[in-house]
Amino acid sequence: MTTPLGGPTPGRDDQFFRTLVEASQDFIVVIDHEGCLTYVSPSLQRVMRFEPAQLLGQSAFQFIHPDDHEAARRALAAELAGSQPAWYIDVRLLTAEGEWIPVEVQGWLDRTTEPPRVIAHARDLRWRKKMEQLLGEQDSWMRALVAASPLAIITVDTALIVRSWNAAAERIFDWKAEEVLGTALPILPEGQPEERDLLWNAINAGKRFDAYPTRRARRDGRLIDVNVSVAPIHDADGRITGAIKLVADTSQQRALDRQFQQSQTLDTAWRLAGGIAHDFNNVLATILTSAEFLLDDAPDGSQMRADVEAIVGATAKARELTHQLLGLGRRPQRKVQRVEMGAALQGTIPEIRDRVDPHISVESAISHEESYVAVDPDQLRQLLDQLAQNACDAMPHGGTLTIECTPVQLDRDTAVGDARIRPGEYVLLAVSDTGEGMTPETVTRAFEPFFTTHDDGRHQGLGLATAYAMARQLGGGIAIASVAGMGTTVRVYLPRAASESVRRSSGESPTITGDFPPSDQPTILLVEDDGTLRATIRRALLQAGFEVLDAAGGAEALVVNETHPEKIHLLITDVVMPDVSGRELASRLRGLRPGLKVLYMSGYNSDSIRASGGLGASEAYLQKPFTPSALVGAVRGLVEFL
C-alpha cells in the first residue's frame, strides 16, 4: 500500500492513529483468542461510563446481554474459523450505571499476531433507535390518521397508477384496496379525457389545487359529486414521483343544497300563487254576486237561467281552486291538539276505503306504539285525503293503496329528502301506491304548483304541492320515493309531541250564513279597496233594503264616518287593505262609535283573524267569494241577533 507524500504512515506516525482512534465518537476494543479485552479505546468511557483500565483483562461476554451471547459467539467462531472475513451484529452492552444500551458491532480477525486476535468497532445506537422509534410512532399516527379520515386519500404515480387507497376511498367508491393497488386510477369518468389530462398535467407540472368541484365514478358506474385536492409528491432529489389526492364526497351536501334551493323556489312560487289567488278572489266575488243577480231575473227553464247557473257552478269550482292556492304560501294559526296518530288514522282510513275506486285495495300498517303529534285534526285529515287522492290518481286501472304510521328517530346522517327536516323524534305517515310511478326528473318537480303529468284537464297539479304546504304548516317535512312503472311512496314526517302541554290557538271563528227576516234596516259602512267588488256588494245590500255608505279604504272610511252624524250600525270591511288594515279600522271607529258591530271579509280563511286576536262578541267573518244571500244573511245575523 502506498501512502501519499506527507501522509501518516504506520510506525512513523503511531501517535496520529492513536489520536484518531481516541477522538472517534465510536469506540474500538481488541479481544484475544480467549475472549478477553486487551485494548479499549478511551471513547468507550463516553458511551459505557467505565474507565478503560477497569475493563482490561475482563471477558467481553460479561458486558454483553445474555440474550445476545449466542449471536456474538457464532460471529467470533465463524471469524476465527476463517469462514467470514468480517461480521456485523447488534447487541446490548452493560454500562457502568447498569443500563443496557444498543450498539452495532463490526468485527474482523487480525492475523498479524499469534495467536490471532479480534478487533471490534462499536457504535452507540441509542440516538438512532430513538429516531427509529419516533419515526415508527409518527408512521403509526399517520397510518391511523389516513385510516380514520372521512376523506378518500389516494396516492398515484406519474402514470396514474394507484399506490395507496384508504378506508374512506373504499367506502366512497366501493373498490377494495387490493382491487385497485397497482392498477390505473379507476374513478376518473369515462368519456371525459380532459379530466384525466388535467390531473396528469397537474401532477407532472408539480401543480396543486384545492377543493376542485367535479364528479367521480363509483364501482357501480354512478357519478357522485366530489371536491378534489391534489398535491405533488417529491423524492429526496426533488423529482416528482406522483401525487396525493384528497377526495371529499359532497353528493349529500349538494343534494341538500339543491333541495333547499328548490324549497326556496317553491316558497316563492307559492307566495306568488297565493297573492294572485287573493286578487282573483275579488274577481270571483264580483262574478258570483252578479250571477246571483241575474238568476233572480232569469225565468225558470230558460236558456238564460241555464247559462247563469253554469257560470255559478264554474265560479264555485274556481273558488275551491283559489282556496287551495291561498293555503300554499301561508303558515296559518290552527286549532292545535294533541292527537294520537294511530287512532286518528284508524278513524279516517275506513272513510277513504269507502270513497276510492272498487278496483283499488286499501291496506294499512299502523304501529301499536302510541305516537302523539301536535296538529290541527282537520288539517291532518285534509293531508291524508290529499295524499290518498293523489295515490289513487296514479292507479287508473286499480292497485293497492297502503297507509303506514310509525314513530321514527332521525339523526344527522338520516337523509329523508327534505332539507328542512332536522334531527329528532318524528311520526312517519307514509302513503304508497302501486301505480305508474315517477321518473327522477318528475320527482324533482312534483311539489311545484300546477305541475302535472296528466293531460286530461281534471288535474290542476296542486295535489302534492298542497300536501307539501300542509306538511310544512304542521311543522314537519315530506319526501318522495318513486320508481317509474312500480309505484310511489310519499313520506310525511311530523314532529312527535314531547308532552301533553301543547300550544292551542283560539277557537274557530263563527261564519254566519243564511236568511233572516227583515226588520228596520240599519246603516252600513262598506269598506273595500276593489271598486268593482265594492259596487257589487253595495248593490246586494241596497236590494236587501239597507242604507249603505261606502269607502275605498281606511282613510276614506274615517272621513265618511265624520261626515255622517247619524248612527252607523255595522262596519263591513276587507281584512287586508293598502292603507289601514280592517282590524285597525274597526278599532279606530269603535273608539268613535261604541257598540259598532263588524263583519270582516277576506279571501283567506278565518285564521288571518284569529292570528290577530280572534273575533269578539259583536264580530263575524265571511270568506270571499260569497253569494248575495250569504252576505245578507251574515249582515242580518249581526245586526238583529248580536
Checking 543-547 for CB contacts under 8 A at 24+ apart, the result is: 543/293, 543/628, 544/518, 544/628, 544/632, 544/635, 545/518, 545/521, 546/521, 546/522, 546/635, 547/521, 547/522, 547/523
Q: How many whole angstroms separate alpha carbon 491 and alpha carbon 425? A: 15
CB neighbour list of residue 309: distance below 8 Å, 6 or more residues apart: 295
Tell me how crowded residue 197 is: count the other CB atoms within 10 A of its CB. 10
- For range 464-475, the mean pLDDT: 72
State what percent of residues in the chain have pLDDT above 90.
11
Q: How many whole angstroms separate alpha carbon 605 and alpha carbon 464? A: 21
| Confidence band, pLDDT 50/70/90 cuts, at residue 331 | very low
| Confidence band, pLDDT 50/70/90 cuts, at residue 83 | low
200, 210, 315 from 230: Cα distances, Å: 11, 7, 65
**pLDDT at 27 > cutoff 70:** yes
Asked whether 273 and 460 are in contact (CB, 8 A), the reply is no
| Confidence band, pLDDT 50/70/90 cuts, at residue 10 | low
Give the pLDDT score at 17: 63
Q: How many whole angstroms separate alpha carbon 448 and alpha carbon 224? A: 26
DSSP state of 529: S
Q: Which of 264, 316, 274 is nearest to 466 (CA)?
A: 274
Name which residue leads in pLDDT, 239 or 298.
239
Query: Does an H or E element contain 30, and which?
Result: strand 27-31
- For range 354-372, the mean pLDDT: 88
Asked whether 223 and 217 are in contact (CB, 8 A), the reply is yes
Q: How many whole angstroms separate alpha carbon 233 and alpha carbon 135? A: 19
Torsion of CA 180, 183, 186, 187, to 10 degrees: 70
Q: Do the bridges between strand 27-31 and strand 209-217 make them parallel or antiparallel, or are there none, so unpaired?
A: unpaired
**pLDDT at 515 > cutoff 70:** no
Give the pLDDT score at 525: 93
- For range 110-116, the mean pLDDT: 81
| Confidence band, pLDDT 50/70/90 cuts, at residue 572 | very high
Q: Do the bridges between strand 597-602 and strand 570-574 make them parallel or antiparallel, or are there none, so unpaired?
A: parallel
Give the pLDDT score at 93: 92
Per-residue buried b or exposed e for 450-474, using 16+ beta carbons within 10 Å of the residue's own CB? ebbeeeeeeebebbbbbbbbbbbbb
Q: Which of 547, 546, 552, 521 is nearest to 534 (CA)?
A: 552
**pLDDT at 317 > cutoff 80:** no
State what percent of residues in the chain have pLDDT above 70.
79
**pLDDT at 500 > cutoff 50:** no
DSSP state of 161: B
Quote the mean pLDDT of the chain.
79
Asked whether 432 and 443 are in contact (CB, 8 A), the reply is no
Name which residue leads in pLDDT, 319 or 243.
243
**391-446 pLDDT, tens digit each:** 888 898 889 999 999 898 876 555 455 555 677 888 989 899 998 888 888 887 77
Query: Does an H or E element contain 338, and which?
Result: strand 337-340
| Confidence band, pLDDT 50/70/90 cuts, at residue 197 | confident
- For range 37-41, the mean pLDDT: 89
- For range 462-483, the mean pLDDT: 75
| Confidence band, pLDDT 50/70/90 cuts, at residue 507 | very low
Return the top range by mean pLDDT from 10-19, 42-51, 306-315, 628-637. Answer: 42-51
**347-358 pLDDT, tens digit each:** 888 888 888 888
How many whole angstroms from its chain centre is CA 139?
36
**pLDDT at 4 > cutoff 60:** no
| Confidence band, pLDDT 50/70/90 cuts, at residue 511 | very low
